[in-house]
Amino acid sequence: MSDHPHEDDRPDPLDGFDELVEAETTRDPDLAVIEAGSRTLRTQGGQPQAEVPGRPGDPEIDRALREVETELAGRWGETKLEPSVSRISALMDLLGEPQRAYPSIHITGTNGKTSTARMIEALLGAFELRTGRYTSPHVQSITERISLDGAPISAEGFIETYRDITPYVEMVDAAQEYRLSFFEVLTGMAYAAFADAPVDVAVVEVGMGGSWDATNVIDGDVAVITPIALDHTDRLGGTPAEIAGEKGGIIKQDATVILAQQPVDAAQVLLKKAVEVDATVAREGLEFGVVERQVAVGGQLLTLRGLGGEYPEVYLPLHGAYQAHNAAVALAAVEAFFGVGAQRAQPLDIDTVRKAFAAVSSPGRLEVVRRSPTVVLDAAHNPAGAEATAEAVREAFDFTRLIGVVGASADKNVRGLLEAFEPIFAEVVVTQNSTPRAMDADELAAIAVEVFGEDRVQVEPRLPDALEAAITLAEEEGEFAGGGVLVTGSVITVGEARLLLGKG
């Protein structure tokens, strides 16, 4: 972190920050009581990211990878849970506690986790740290979930890691009441791969919740909590406060907590947890945030307020206000990791920060994969995510007629998702992806008709047919008009559409 400006030359870090404070989420006065017991971080005074990988070109490697995928698929899926870290802890013990071999930044929340993780990874890499990133679910290839130095682990590396830990997995399976799940085995693989690399720092996204999530056997030096909304309510709770209680489980003793803007009841729970474990808290809208943003070609131009001062003219090649907020959270997390705001007052090197953000990608998040007509992919799968996406589409694209292609999972709030998109979709083509979790297209259509009206709904159970139908509808606007297609509703739907449209 070189080339810091001389302290006398730096602008006052509090100048121009009143507007940011005023823009913060409405706060309950009772929060002051909780905050009084919490230390806060207020300063006194990249590598290019790889595209989503396709199938291995070598037939033998592809065959071996498919064998591993089949074996993993035979375990409990990610939606079937027995809330406990006992099995993953047993695996870590047999593997020699690989997760203790490097410091970690742990990320939870409802929306924005993967994009934030990718930004954190890019920033750390730009400062010449070797990174490991673990995120879920994948868009197209299972190898995406484990990244080293900003790129998905190779198919060969994935296979080798799986085979290396398999004997230990079998030992845990034999000793426990339930076998290790799909996600638990992948988590063990990630932690082992990071230790073997070795990495300088791991960026780890939870699978679900926090307290009993399989990733929660690390002691994250920095705990990041992205915005909390209602999702997985059958497992995490029916209110933001209840969900925050689970997600706050990643906050460890003496850690630093980077807190995105939250509903008031969720913020209360998280701040109380921070007090209990003597964690240091930095809150979006107070200690850090987005000072200014302007829509730019292919993304947006930001001025970010970090823990060490302002970072002007930061180009982010992603669309939407929510991605700007993700960027502010990611920057604060990396600053906290480097001790900015605690041991030191200087900001990070601005040129390095700009370089890192300019290289960020987030496949399947408002990703343009075709022109004439424009086809955009977005993995929004709950109402809060859909509302953020709809707002970003209005801002970033000049569609005169937007056709939606929606394929959702049966366990999601599909009505809320469709209601969020209704104002921006002229018509919607409902479909289903290839997984067992997918909602039946006819069932989805019945809900869509209630939201959109019968005349605006078309049913195409096969995704290829749905894409063709939507593109045809968009083309009715004419070659030089503003017709477009947005494919959304599920990460799986987006991944399958991405392949069909020639990406990866």
Range of weakest confidence among 1-5, 184-188, 336-340: 1-5
> CA 501, CA 201: separation in Å to the nearest integer?
35
Q: Look at the block and give the residue holding tokens 């006398």.
A: 8
- Through-space distance between the first and last CA atoms of the chain, rounded to whole angstroms: 35
185-207 pLDDT, tens per residue?
A: 999 999 999 999 999 999 999 98
* pLDDT computed for residue 482 by the predictor: 86
pLDDT of residue 454: 95
Give tens-digit pLDDT for 5-59: 344 444 443 444 445 444 444 444 344 433 434 444 433 334 445 567 778 889 9
pLDDT band at residue 497 under the 50/70/90 scheme:
very high
- Summarised one tens digit per residue, pLDDT across range 296-326 is 988 999 999 999 999 999 999 999 999 999 9
Tell me what pLDDT residue 355 has.
97
pLDDT band for position 68 (50/70/90)?
very high
pLDDT category of residue 481 using cuts at 50, 70 and 90: low
Who wins on pLDDT, 417 or 22?
417
CA gap 414, 203 in Å, rounded? 31
Average pLDDT, the chain: 87
Q: Pick the closest to residue 317 from 348, 295, 291, 333 (CA basis).
A: 295
Question: What is the rounded distance in angstroms from the CA atom of residue 299 to the CA atom of residue 115?
Answer: 14
Q: Cis peptide before 227, with omega less than 30 degrees from 0? A: no
Q: What value does the mean pLDDT take over residues 400-410?
A: 94
473 forms beta bridges with none
- For 246-259, the pLDDT digits (tens) are 899 999 999 999 99
Beta-carbon contacts of 154 under 8 Å, excluding residues fewer than 6 positions away, are 143
**What pLDDT does 478 receive?**
61
CB 403 within 8 A of CB 474: yes
Render 192-235 in DSSP notation, one character per residue. HHHHHTT-SEEEEE-SSSSTT-TTTTS--SEEEEPPP-S-SHHH
Q: What is the arithmetic mean of pLDDT over 378-384? A: 89
